Amino acid sequence: MIPIRDRNPSGTFPLVTVIIILINVLVFLFELSLGKNLTYFLFYYGVVPIKVFQSADIPEATTTNTYFPFLSYMFLHGGFVHLLGNMWYLWIFGDNIEDMLGRFRFVVFYLICGIGSAVVHVFFNSRSGVPCIGASGAVAGVLGAYMICYPRARVLVLLPLLFIWQFIELPAFIVLGFWFLIQFFNGTAAIANTQGGGVAWWAHIGGFVLGIILVKLFSLTHYYRR
């Protein structure tokens, strides 16, 4: 199920969403220029769970390259498809959440979701020496908020039906709820992989749930715009 667009126009131009996308694209282009130094770059600026739990046993681990990556990792990507998928979801669903929260609060929301999702990933992959990178956790927070705030918004998706891909409109709560279930089932299955690596399923799960919680908190404190 691939979302194409939603039928939920926002009231303002999504400036922050566009800036986040541009930053991610520019950082990815910089990654491409690094050549053989890319691996070192990703290990330095990506979240490496084992550094958090065993930093005393890792000579090259410092406070900076252990904890700053909780912010920097969400602007790094492992390939064009990785980048495109994250930015596509952000483009479709980010504008409405930015419009609802306001630009400054959307920045805060996005960063907290990204940082929080990394914390969840580290918790479930404490022995992993593989760097976690990508905007998926932060974007997952946007998806969680969207599902709660616009559950009945129509989303055009490309869906395989009887071996034929067809366009169909579905409510957001079905599209995003299905996305979350995939993350949850895969994350549960991946728990047995104690070495980590692969897709950061629990970062997606953590970001999604955190997005729901945060948007509810903004609602309770009247921080978002109606």
> Tell me: the pLDDT tens digits for 22-51?
999 999 999 999 999 999 999 999 999 888
Q: Is there a contact between 182 and 111 (Cβ–Cβ < 8 Å)? A: no
- Cα–Cα distance, 117 to 134 (Å, whole number): 11
Please state, in angstroms and rounded to a whole number, the distance separating the CA atoms of residues 74 and 117: 10
What gap in Å lies between CA 14 and CA 146, rounded to an integer?
Answer: 15
- Report residue 56 as tokens: 């005393």
Q: Whole-prediction pTM value? A: 0.90
SS3 4: strand
Please state, in angstroms and rounded to a whole number, the distance separating the CA atoms of residues 94 and 114: 14
Q: Average pLDDT, whole number, for the chain?
A: 89
Q: Which of 199, 206, 161 is nearest to 85 (CA)?
A: 199
The larger pLDDT score, comparing residue 90 to residue 222, is at 90
- Residue recorded with tokens 């395989």: 160
The answer for residues whose C-beta is within 8 angstroms of residue 45's C-beta and 6 or more apart is 65, 68, 69, 72, 73, 76, 131, 133
Assign 101 a pLDDT band (cuts: 50, 70, 90).
very high
Least confident of 40-44, 50-54, 58-62, 66-70: 58-62
Name residues whose C-beta falls within 8 Å of residue 96's C-beta, 6 or more positions apart in sequence. Answer: 6, 8, 10, 146, 149, 150, 153
Residue 42's identity, in one-letter code, is: L
Say if residue 86's pLDDT is above 50: yes
Which residues pair with residue 160 across a beta bridge?
165
Taken in order of first residue, the domains within the chain and their CATH numbers are 2-220 (1.20.1540.10)
- Let me know: does 175 contact 108? Beta carbons within 8 Å: no
Going by C-alpha positions, the residue among 78, 99, 79 that lies closest to residue 18 is 99
Give the tens place of pLDDT for each residue, 127-166.
888 899 999 999 999 999 999 999 999 999 998 877 788 8
- Distances from the Cα of 24 to the Cα of 77, 94, 178, angstroms: 8, 15, 26
